[in-house]
């Protein structure tokens, strides 16, 4: 018979093993679990056990966070995946495409802020009357005399 030998099921990971393999502290893993991003089962001794595919989920979480994606957005994206399935390369590509508009908008905002800061440094006035950063278009003058901004 040309039958492949059956493989034993992959051993689950403890929280310490998952932390060591993923580079994420156990406290962060427990937080991800409370947030519904990863899941574990409990042993008879109430210890957490994680499926091996949790390593990839944690990698996706860390990568998405590194580019500024919120945990809420990551949770929403994971909710679209069938429960328990390891995110594939195709899943990651789809998620990355879906987050691209948000990242592009942030890049535009940061470039605009950088330009305003450059203009402020270049003008040297540090005047609330003319400052494009602190008082764009002198909007504070329309509110009458006196202090308008408090530290």
Residue indicated by tokens 């504070």: 140
Tens digit of each residue's pLDDT, the chain (151 residues): 455 555 555 689 999 999 999 999 999 999 999 999 999 999 999 999 999 989 999 999 999 999 999 999 999 888 888 765 778 888 889 888 999 999 999 999 999 888 877 776 666 665 555 566 666 666 666 776 666 555 4
Q: Which residues contact 123 (CB under 8 A, 6 or more apart)?
A: 130, 131, 132
Check residue 124 and give its pLDDT: 60
Check residue 42 and give its pLDDT: 92
Model confidence, pTM? 0.69
Check residue 88 and give its pLDDT: 85
Residue indicated by tokens 């998620």: 95
């Amino acid at each position: 018979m040309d039958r492949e030998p059956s493989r034993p099921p992959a051993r689950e990971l403890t929280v310490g093993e998952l932390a060591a393999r993923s580079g994420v502290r156990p406290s962060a893993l427990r937080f991800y679990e409370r947030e519904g991003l990863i899941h574990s089962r409990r042993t008879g001794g109430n210890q957490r056990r994680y499926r091996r595919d949790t390593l990839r989920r944690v990698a996706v979480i860390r990568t998405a966070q590194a580019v500024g994606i919120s945990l809420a957005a990551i949770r929403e994206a994971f909710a679209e995946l069938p429960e328990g399935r390891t995110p594939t390369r195709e899943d990651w590509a789809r998620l990355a495409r879906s987050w691209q508009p948000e990242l592009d908008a942030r890049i535009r905002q940061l470039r605009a802020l950088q330009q305003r800061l450059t203009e402020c440094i270049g003008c040297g006035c540090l005047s609330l009357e003319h400052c494009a950063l602190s008082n764009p278009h002198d909007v504070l003058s329309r509110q009458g005399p006196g202090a308008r901004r408090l530290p």
